[in-house]
Each structure stands twice: as C-alpha cells, then as structure tokens.
Amino acid sequence: MRRTRDEVDATLQIAKLNPAELLPAVQCLGFSPGASAAAGGDFCLLELEPALCQQLEAGCSMVIRGDKDEQAVLCSKDKTYDLKIADTSNMLLLIPGCKIPGQLKMEETHCNIIHTEIFGFSNNYWELRRCRPKLKKLKRLLMANTYEGPDSQKEKDSNYSKYTTEDLLDQIQASEEEIMAQLQVLNACEIEGYWRILEFDYEMKLLNHVTQLVDSESWSFTKVPLNICLQELGPLEPEEMIEHCLKCYGRRYTEEGEVYFELSADKICRATAQMLLQNAVKFNLAEFQEVWQQSVPEGMITRLEQLKGLALVDRQSRPEIIFLLKVDDLPEDNQERFNSLFSLREKWTEEDIAPYIQDLCGEKQTICALLTKYARSSMQNGVKVYNSRRPIS
C-alpha cells in the first residue's frame, strides 16, 4: 500500500515535527518484490575515499587482485589497498533514484509524495585501507628464469616461464605504476616482450666490459658516450644489453646532441662488493675492505655506507667480520621481518637495523614508530639497542 498525504501528515504530527521546517516533498520508501540482501552475492557495497571516487567518476578503472591463497587487494593506477569487510549495526539500503535533500530543493517545488522502492539491503560493506604493494612475488617469479645472455642454453629451452607486463599485472598484488617502479629497482629489462632479470654474473660481465672500455679510452666516468660504447662493445654483447647496463649503473643525459651516461661510483662499488661477498659465508672486514678497494675501477672510493641493505658488519666478533644480508631476501610481513632479524642478531642499533626495515614504513610512518611497536629498547655500553618484544625460537 502506498501512503497518502494525509497519512504522512498524521505521522509527522505523532512525531511532533513541524511540516513548515521540512521540505514540502516527501519520499516514502518501500521494499520492492525482488529486494534482496547484499550477502546473497548479487552485489556488495564498497566505501571509497573522495580521491578514488573522483577517479571512478572520471572513467578510471580499478582491479581486485589476488590468487586463491592470497588476501585480496584493490589496485588503482598507482596505489594498493587492502580489502576488509566492515560490519555495521545500521541496515544499509540500496535505493536507485533516491533523491537527496539538495536535489529535492532544486527539482520539487510543490507539495507531493515520491514513492521510492528499496532494491536491496546489507549489514556490511567493504572498506579500503592503504597498504604497501606486495612485490616480493615479482622478484621470485623473475628470478626463477634469469637472463644469462643470448647464447645461454636456457634461452633455447621453452620449459622456463616468462612474463609479459599483462602476466605480471594478473599475478602481482600491486598497481601498475608500483609494479613498473619495482621492475626498475630490480634492474629488469624487457627482452622480446618478456620481463627478465639479468643473472648477476652476466650483469657483472657487462659492467666489466663497460668499465674496461672507459679505462682504455681514458674517459671520465661522468661522461661515457653511448654510441661509441655500442660500436666498441657491440661485437661482444647485444647492444640493448650494453645500453641496459649503462642505464642500471648510470644516469643518461644529452649534450650537444650526443647521448652520454654518468656512471654512479656508489652503484659500481656496491655491485663489486656483492660479487665478492656472495661466495663467502663470512669475510674478515679488514681483508674485505682491502680487496674491495682493489677490485673497483681506479679513482672510485669504497665506503661501508654504500652497502646499506646489502651487507651487515659484526663489530662484536674478533676479528670484525662482514657478510651478505640483502633486504630483498627478508620476509615482506612486518612481524616476520622483525622475527627474522632478531633471530639473526639478538640486539641491534638503530643505525644497523634501519636499512632492513625502511621499506616497511607506510605513509606517515617512521622507523622509530616501527621499532616502538615491534622492539624493546635498552642501553648497552652507553648505546641504545633494540631487541625483540617476543621470544624468538
């Protein structure tokens, strides 16, 4: 049954409401015959922050990503959000064509009744929480089939998996911009339409070709000409690999119409250190520093600061030692990351642990905030150190 105006006025009188203080138009809500609960699976409600809502209204798309064994995330073009179900004690009604007060003021100028049907209802909705992109899987997929050069037997074997950009978008829980940025961090390159990470030994082979050419030509590391590099090294390796190596270890710029690269001493020193450390469980620090300095191109200066997030120095051992500890190899989950670090070393200074937890910091979150949550501080020989809040097995 539909309400009449007299019934509406009677209801207002019972509620002790003054009709003069209300809009003249009245909306009477009623359930349609086909109204159903959102829990039935036909639809669900999603709460969006204003910026995301504006993107959708502008025609941008969003994607829900995740395998069956993963917690689903929603990705916009440049951000990733956790999807969480939020229950509410208030029933949420879905009313197509329902007019809000502002619309009623503009459209309804005389006293009337609008009968509106409720299409569905729900007691929960999906809410979004900004989260870090889940990018460990990206490296794991690409490292399963590294590129060892055009003549490698692996390139002739079709049993190894390869991934296009679309493949990665389907499998990685991150936005497209975040995935592309991480591919740059990993020094990945696109070869015949597939994203590949160079085998480290092959990457070092390319880098040695470049540094030896720079030395033989007496070039400055700040001004390495691209065209001459490609001409001289082209017979040894594919030109696209030579240029990729220059991009990984240098900054491209143009001067008087010629393309040059400014090679980074820090990146070259860091890669050289990784080459020396990867085959040694532990390395005497003093001996390592001597060999390391001798191994880098002449004119470059090695510093332990170049190894943050790559290697760890143990000052407590005698003699002092250094060993490989790559932040990329640590767990992605916050608690698992701290468990792994505290199982390796019971107490850490902030200076030592910072490179290994920096990537865990979210928006407006600091390293100090993370340490406060997951670690307990104390003083040791006048230095603040951190240990686990939980027992480590």
Classify residue 40 by its DSSP letter. G
Q: How many CA atoms lie within 13 A of 328 on its CB side?
A: 11
Q: Do residues 10 and 120 both lie within one domain?
A: yes
Contacts 24+ apart (CB under 8 A), 370-373: 370/334
Residue 297 CA to residue 267 CA, distance in Å, equals: 12
Q: Which residues contact 75 (CB under 8 A, 6 or more apart)?
A: 62, 63, 64, 65, 81, 173, 174, 175, 176
Q: Do residues 126 and 9 both lie within one domain?
A: yes
The last residue of one of the domains, among 130, 147, 162, is: 130
Residues 44 and 85 sit within 8 Å (Cβ to Cβ): no
Residues 22 and 48 sit within 8 Å (Cβ to Cβ): no
Cα 135 to Cα 131, 187, 189, 191, 239: the distances in Å are: 12, 14, 17, 21, 29
Q: What is the pLDDT of residue 379?
A: 92
pLDDT surpassing 50 at residue 39 = no
Q: How would DSSP label each residue in 322-341?
A: EEE--GGGS-SSHHHHHHHH
Residue 191 CA to residue 237 CA, distance in Å, equals: 14
Tell me whether residue 273 is in a domain.
no
Could you tell me the pTM of the whole model? 0.82
Q: What is the pLDDT of residues 200-243, one digit of tens each?
A: 999 999 999 999 999 999 999 999 999 999 999 999 999 999 99
Tell me whether residue 275 is in a domain.
no
The last residue of one of the domains, among 130, 148, 178, is: 130
Tell me whether residue 270 is in a domain.
no
Residue 334 CA to residue 340 CA, distance in Å, equals: 10
Alpha helix stretches (DSSP H) within 250-365: 265-277, 285-295, 334-344, 350-357
Q: What is the pLDDT of residue 362?
A: 77
Q: Do residues 110 and 215 both lie within one domain?
A: no
Q: Do residues 114 and 211 both lie within one domain?
A: no
Cα dihedral value 242, 244, 245, 246, nearest 10: 90
Residue 351 CA to residue 381 CA, distance in Å, equals: 16
Buried-exposed string 122-142: b where 16+ CB fall within 10 A, e elsewhere: beebbbbeebbbbbbbbbebb
Q: What is the pLDDT of residues 109-158, one digit of tens each?
A: 555 777 788 888 888 888 999 999 999 999 999 999 999 998 887 777 77
Q: What average pLDDT does the structure give for the chain? A: 89
Q: Do residues 214 and 245 both lie within one domain?
A: yes
Residues 181 and 212 sit within 8 Å (Cβ to Cβ): no
Which pair of tokens denotes residue 253?
Answer: 């710029």
Q: Do residues 61 and 93 both lie within one domain?
A: yes
Q: What is the pLDDT of residue 24?
A: 76
- State what percent of residues in the chain have pLDDT above 70: 95
Tell me whether residue 117 is in a domain.
yes
Tell me whether residue 88 is in a domain.
yes
Q: What is the pLDDT of residue 273?
A: 97
Tell me whether residue 252 is in a domain.
yes
Q: What is the pLDDT of residue 41?
A: 55
Q: Do residues 46 and 112 both lie within one domain?
A: yes
The last residue of one of the domains, among 197, 227, 247, is: 197
Q: Do residues 108 and 158 both lie within one domain?
A: no
Q: Do residues 209 and 257 both lie within one domain?
A: yes
Tell me whether residue 300 is in a domain.
yes
Q: Do residues 154 and 256 both lie within one domain?
A: no
Residue 18: pLDDT band by 50, 70, 90 thresholds?
confident
Residues 31 and 117 sit within 8 Å (Cβ to Cβ): yes
Residues 344 and 388 sit within 8 Å (Cβ to Cβ): no
Q: Do residues 17 and 89 both lie within one domain?
A: yes
**Domains identified in the chain, total number:** 4
Residue 26 CA to residue 28 CA, distance in Å, equals: 6
User: Which domain CATH number covers 254?
Assistant: 1.10.10
Residue 224: give the domain boundaries: 200-263
Q: Do residues 114 and 20 both lie within one domain?
A: yes
Residue 323 CA to residue 328 CA, distance in Å, equals: 15
Tell me whether residue 279 is in a domain.
no
Helix (H) or strand (E) holding 104: helix 101-107
